[in-house]
């Protein structure tokens, strides 16, 4: 069974109706790492629905959380907002200054600014949860009843947190963080409690009262989380390994939930996604690639496969270069397989059957539309990358694929893949080992390094290519033969070919590339190379 089906099966033993929850704090630009949580939740929800369960999939926007610091992408004016809630401060402009105009006229907040692009990406990737805004929930009284219980049982919750987390809380700790005189959550001391009011004094010498029922503050994170499970009715939640560690917020939340009067949800802990060679992604350090940026490179199905094929407890290394090419080609191979027929075979070992079932389950989760089968295009990303670089016009790409018998007609899916491929090629993420740079003029510097034998090979190769059929097989045979005819190493012929045609010592396979280019242009370039070589 696929890992999402296992989670769904476990839920089915606990009832028919479930709420699967994920959440995020919109403190900065979202990245691919954030997709793991929400796609994990989405896939569990799909599997549960497939199992006949009644599932509500929710996405909680933690807009009640405070701005922790002035991040690098923010201007110094944001110093005044440190500690203020993300859903109550203005969004930044491109220069990092607060956009007061949109904030005052449209209530366009800091949280909105970073959330909206992520929601656009989620829609494209086929994730459509019910959105819950945390700040709005506090203000509308959704947390009021559970906040009262927390404040009434402050000593019990303190004991729980200190015992499980092995850390001592301050003497003035209280399970409600009131807004201070500057509308911030920092540097404010609780001086008394008489429901629904929490009395306070802040660092500025101001005093006041925070009304729990109006959301004039919030619960600290370790209480906020289990409180959300209660009023939303969460029965399953995916979260990162930091929250799932021993003594972490799930450990305390599980017990606090019971103190608040409800059961904790079924957990699913996931590992991080890191960028290859750069470590864990972080919005605050800028070590990220955003979901919108990733979707400009490859179709959404391939990003879904990245999450679907890896068990949640397995770390994922996201590689926007060759790793993404390999992942995309893996998608095409899997989409072309007949899993039902494979599983019907009685010759499969238990291990082979598990592998086929896992692959089939992962592919069920790749579609952006639940229940829709994944479709193969019969064109690998490697070949599409070659065509996109050697053919300037889309019509020439389709003509090549049509003449080779790879495709009969251009589907919207194929056109979409080509559009993304052209964007990928033009980006910094495209792998250099696949980049095709056929020279327009000979590289005199490279040609001057040729010895006598290499000069002979160039002349022989030019004549051979001029006479051969212009297809990959014939070109691939003609290049090394040009050296063999002179009793020289075939390797020397490829060295000469790369130097003459690409100005490099090595590169991607030449024969398929040349076969997609105009023969007369290549032959003309080789003749120009011959003329450039001094006698």
Domain span at 37? 3-143+220-273
- In this prediction, what percent of the chain has a pLDDT beyond 90? 83
CA angle 187, 191, 197 (to 5 degrees): 100
What pLDDT, in 10s, does the model give residues 121-147? Answer: 999 999 999 999 999 999 999 999 999
Which pLDDT value is given to residue 68? 95
Spatial separation of the C-alpha atoms in residues 461 and 199, rounded to whole Å: 88
Question: Does residue 497 share a domain with residue 419?
Answer: no
Closest CA to 24 of 243, 198, 294, 231: 243
Radius of gyration of the chain (CA): 30
Tokens encoding 56: 């509500």
Which pLDDT value is given to residue 283? 55
pTM: 0.89
Question: Does residue 247 share a domain with residue 189?
Answer: no
On whether residue 288 sits in a domain, the answer given is no
Question: Does residue 527 share a domain with residue 449?
Answer: yes
On whether residue 411 sits in a domain, the answer given is yes
Which pLDDT value is given to residue 278? 64
DSSP state of 504: S
On whether residue 294 sits in a domain, the answer given is no
What pLDDT, in 10s, does the model give residues 229-269? Answer: 999 999 999 999 999 999 999 999 999 999 999 999 999 99
What pLDDT, in 10s, does the model give residues 82-96? Answer: 999 999 999 999 999
On whether residue 167 sits in a domain, the answer given is no
Which pLDDT value is given to residue 65? 97
Question: Does residue 100 share a domain with residue 24?
Answer: yes
On whether residue 211 sits in a domain, the answer given is yes
Question: Does residue 226 share a domain with residue 125?
Answer: yes
Does residue 343 carry a pLDDT above 60? yes
Q: Is 53 helix (H, G, I), strand (E, B) or coil?
A: coil
Helix axes 490-501, 452-467, angle to 10 degrees: 80
Which pLDDT value is given to residue 449? 92
Q: Of the residues 256, 273, 290, which one is the last residue of a structural domain?
A: 273
Which CATH number characterizes residue 81's domain?
Answer: 3.40.50.620
Question: Does residue 472 share a domain with residue 374?
Answer: no
What pLDDT, in 10s, does the model give residues 394-425? Answer: 999 999 999 888 888 899 999 999 999 999 99
Q: How confident is the model at residue 292 (pLDDT cuts 50, 70, 90)?
A: confident
Question: Does residue 210 share a domain with residue 229?
Answer: no
On whether residue 504 sits in a domain, the answer given is yes
On whether residue 52 sits in a domain, the answer given is yes
Which pLDDT value is given to residue 286? 54
Which pLDDT value is given to residue 313? 93
Q: How confident is the model at residue 1 (pLDDT cuts 50, 70, 90)?
A: confident
Which pLDDT value is given to residue 428? 87
Which pLDDT value is given to residue 280? 61
Question: Does residue 203 share a domain with residue 348?
Answer: no
On whether residue 168 sits in a domain, the answer given is no
Which pLDDT value is given to residue 405? 85
Q: Which residue has the higher pLDDT, 320 or 418?
A: 418
Q: How confident is the model at residue 375 (pLDDT cuts 50, 70, 90)?
A: confident
- When divided into structural domains, the chain yields a total of 4
Spatial separation of the C-alpha atoms in residues 162 and 416, rounded to whole Å: 54
Q: Is 52 helix (H, G, I), strand (E, B) or coil?
A: coil
Q: Of the residues 432, 455, 480, which one is the last residue of a structural domain?
A: 432
């Amino acid at each position: 069974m696929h890992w999402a089906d296992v989670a769904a099966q476990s839920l089915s033993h606990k009832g028919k109706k479930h709420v699967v929850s994920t959440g995020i704090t919109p403190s900065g630009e979202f990245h691919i790492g954030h997709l793991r949580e929400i796609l994990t939740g989405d896939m569990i929800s799909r599997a549960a629905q497939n199992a006949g369960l009644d599932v509500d999939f929710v996405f909680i926007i933690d807009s009640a959380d405070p701005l922790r610091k002035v991040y690098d992408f923010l201007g110094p004016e944001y110093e005044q907002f440190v500690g203020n809630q993300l859903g109550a401060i203005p969004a930044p402009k491109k220069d990092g200054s607060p956009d007061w105009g949109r904030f005052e006229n449209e209530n366009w907040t800091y949280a909105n600014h970073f959330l909206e692009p992520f929601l656009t990406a989620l829609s494209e990737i086929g994730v459509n949860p019910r959105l819950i805004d945390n700040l709005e929930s506090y203000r509308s009284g959704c947390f009021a009843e559970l906040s009262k219980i927390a404040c009434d049982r402050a000593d019990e919750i303190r004991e729980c947190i200190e015992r499980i987390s092995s850390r001592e809380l301050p003497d003035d700790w209280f399970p409600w963080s009131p807004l201070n005189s500057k509308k911030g959550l920092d540097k404010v001391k609780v001086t008394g409690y008489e429901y629904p009011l929490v009395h306070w004094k802040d660092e500025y010498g101001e005093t006041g009262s925070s009304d729990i029922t109006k959301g004039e503050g919030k619960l600290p994170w370790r209480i906020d989380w289990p409180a959300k499970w209660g009023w939303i009715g969460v029965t399953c939640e995916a979260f990162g390994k930091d929250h799932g560690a021993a003594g972490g917020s799930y450990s305390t939340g599980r017990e606090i939930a019971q103190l608040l009067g409800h059961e904790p949800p079924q957990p699913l802990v996931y590992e991080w996604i890191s960028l290859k060679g750069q470590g864990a992604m972080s919005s605050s350090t800028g070590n990220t690639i955003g979901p919108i940026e990733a979707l400009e490179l490859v179709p959404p199905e391939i990003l879904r496969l990245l999450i679907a094929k890896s068990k949640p407890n397995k770390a994922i290394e996201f590689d926007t270069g060759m790793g993404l090419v390999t992942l995309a080609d893996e998608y095409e191979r899997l989409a072309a397989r007949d899993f039902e027929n494979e599983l019907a075979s009685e010759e499969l070992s238990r291990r082979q059957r598990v592998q086929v079932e896992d692959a089939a389950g992962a592919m069920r989760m790749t579609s952006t539309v639940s229940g829709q089968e994944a479709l193969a295009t019969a064109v690998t990303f490697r070949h599409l990358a070659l065509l996109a670089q050697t053919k300037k016009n889309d019509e020439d790409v389709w003509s090549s694929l049509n003449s080779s018998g790879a495709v009969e007609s251009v589907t919207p899916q194929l056109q979409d893949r080509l559009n993304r491929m052209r964007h990928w090629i033009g980006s910094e993420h495209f792998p250099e080992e696949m980049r095709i740079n056929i020279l327009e003029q000979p590289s005199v510097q490279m040609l001057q390094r040729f010895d006598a034998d290499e000069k002979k090979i160039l002349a022989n190769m030019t004549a051979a290519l001029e006479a051969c059929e212009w297809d990959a097989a014939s070109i691939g045979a003609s290049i090394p033969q040009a050296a063999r005819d002179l009793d020289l190493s075939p390797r020397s012929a490829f060295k000469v070919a790369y130097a003459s045609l690409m100005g490099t010592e090595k590169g991607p396979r030449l024969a398929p590339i040349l076969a997609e280019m105009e023969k007369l242009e290549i032959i003309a370039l080789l003749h120009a190379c011959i003329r450039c070589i001094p006698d």
